[in-house]
Amino acid sequence: MNLSESAKQAGFAAAYLLPVPQYEEWTRRRASGAFAPEANWIEGDPAAAWPWANGLLLLIWPYAPYAPDEGLSGYYPASNQSYHAMRSLQQTLKGRDVRAERAAVPVKSLLVEWGIGARLMSDLIFIPGLGTRFVIQGLMVALPEEELIFTPKGAPFDACIRCKRCQNACPGGAISPQGYDWRRCLRAYEDGPAMPDWVMERMTCLLGCEVCQDVCPLNHFIRPRPMTESERTAFDLKKLIAGDIQPALEIIGKNMKKGGKLTAQAAVLAANQHRTDLLPLLEVQAAHADGPLKDTLNWVISRLL
C-alpha cells in the first residue's frame, strides 16, 4: 500500500508529499508581527529540527460545519478526529519502518506555494472540491528512496471572487481591501478565559467564529450537519458553565481544557443568547472563580442583569 492509500485508509481526503520546506520569508514576517500568537509554535527551520526527514506529508481532513444556530464551530471536533487519524497513520508507517513525526509548519502558505490551494480575501485557504472546510495535519517522514515521489508543484492560482461577503459579515472588521488583520479577528482572542470586551460582545458560537466561512460562496456546496445527541449534551451551556467539560473534551481534544476556556466561552454565549435562566448558576460560579475567569463571569452577569 502506497503513502496516499495509507492516508486515505486512515480517513484523510488527500495527502501531499512535499520536500522538506524552507520558508525564511514567512519566518521574517512572523518576527514582524504579521501573524497571530499561535504561529509562535511553528518551527522556523524544519531541516534543523528534523534532520533525518526527507519529506513533509500534508494530510487534508474535510468536515461539514454545524448549522449556524447550533452555536458550535465544527473545526475543533474535526481537528481532534484528524489528530487521531494522523496518529493511526503514524502507527501504520511505523509498522513499515517509516519514521514519522508531527510537524508544526506554515501549512497554509505551503498549500498556496505548491498550487494546491488559494488564499482568499478572508485569509482562509480554498481547495477545489473541499472549499475552506478542512483541517490540515503535517508529518515529517523518512521514506525509502523508491517511495519518495513528491507531489508535482502546480502554479499558484486565485479563487476568490471578491464578492466582499466575508468583509461585510466579519464581526470584528478583520477583512478589508487592504488584507486580513488578525488583530481584529475574534478567533485570535479565544485561547483562554480572558477575552476583550469587543470580542465577547460579538461571539456567536463556541470555539471560534464561523461567519466568514458561512457566507463564502465557495463553501455553499457543503451542507451543514446536525449535532448528534451526544454532542448536544456535551456542549449544553449549563453543563459547561457548571464545569462539566469532560464530555466536550472527548469530542474536541483534552488539550482544549486550558484553565476555564470552555466555561468562559459558554458563559459569554449565554449572555449573548440572553439566557437569564442561567444567571443563578453564573453567580455561584463567579463567587468561586478567580483570575481572568472570574472577570469574564462578572462581565457576563452584568450583561444579563
Q: For 245-254, which contacts have Cβ atoms below 8 Å and span 24 or more sequence positions?
A: 251/77, 251/80, 252/76, 252/77, 252/79, 252/80, 252/207, 253/76, 253/79, 253/80, 253/83
Residues 178-204 pLDDT 10s: 889 999 999 999 988 899 999 999 999
Residues 208-248 pLDDT 10s: 899 999 999 999 999 999 999 999 999 999 999 999 999 99
pLDDT-derived band at 262 (thresholds 50, 70, 90) equals: very high
Q: Which domains does the chain have, with CATH numbers?
A: 3-147 (3.40.109), 172-208+228-304 (no CATH)
Q: What is the pTM of this model?
A: 0.93
pLDDT-derived band at 1 (thresholds 50, 70, 90) equals: low
State percent of the chain over pLDDT 70.
Answer: 100
Q: What pLDDT score was predicted for residue 199?
A: 96
Q: What whole-number distance in Å separates Cα of residue 79 and Cα of residue 277?
A: 32
**pLDDT above 80 (res 142):** yes
Q: What pLDDT score was predicted for residue 43?
A: 93
Mean pLDDT over residues 32-36, rounded? Answer: 92
